[in-house]
Amino acid sequence: MSYVSNRVLKINVGFLLADGPGHLHTTRFDVPEVKVAEDLILNYVRGPLRLSRTKEGILVQGQLEVGINGECYRCLDAVTQNVTVDLEELFTYPLPHSSEFSVNDTAILDLGPLLRAEVLLSTARGLLCRPDCQGLCPDCGANLNHTTCTCRPEATDPRLAQLKDFVK
């Protein structure tokens, strides 16, 4: 697999720290396939990012489009999906603050952990290949999007069999 280093997600914000509160910088991300963390590789990261200097640190705001590969949670087919991630997080500076997100001593802001967290939250319910995905047959395991199975369509879960009488 070929992807760019996650160093592209590390932003030098020394100029903003030196300028003081009230200053801002807008940039645009357009990163090809990148390994954000050991458990997350994104096909791309695109979109605007706004960095605002506050007295507490750097406020990161943006709406990034990311491409993610996975499998459909209903039918297990491979799926590539575009996900919009809204970012808004304060990276504290100076360091004495106990925060997961902070600017280090060398004025580097690492966007990787925030991006990872937001992507995982956005995809927590799983990826879906299409809205009308029929999933897998619970009896034979056939992918109902690609084939019809020979299982009885009227087969009822025995635990729910008595509810069928209410319909009659």
Q: Is the pLDDT of residue 20 over 70?
A: yes
> Of 28, 40, 39, 27, which Cα lies nearest the Cα of 67?
40
pLDDT at residue 167, rounded to an integer? 67
pLDDT tens across 27-66, in order? 999 999 999 988 899 999 999 999 999 998 999 999 999 9
Q: Is the pLDDT of residue 155 over 90?
A: no
pLDDT tens across 59-109, in order? 999 999 999 999 999 999 999 999 999 999 999 987 665 667 888 888 999
113-127 b/e (C-beta count within 10 Å ≥ 16 → b): ebbbbbbeeebeeeb
Count, residues in the chain: 168
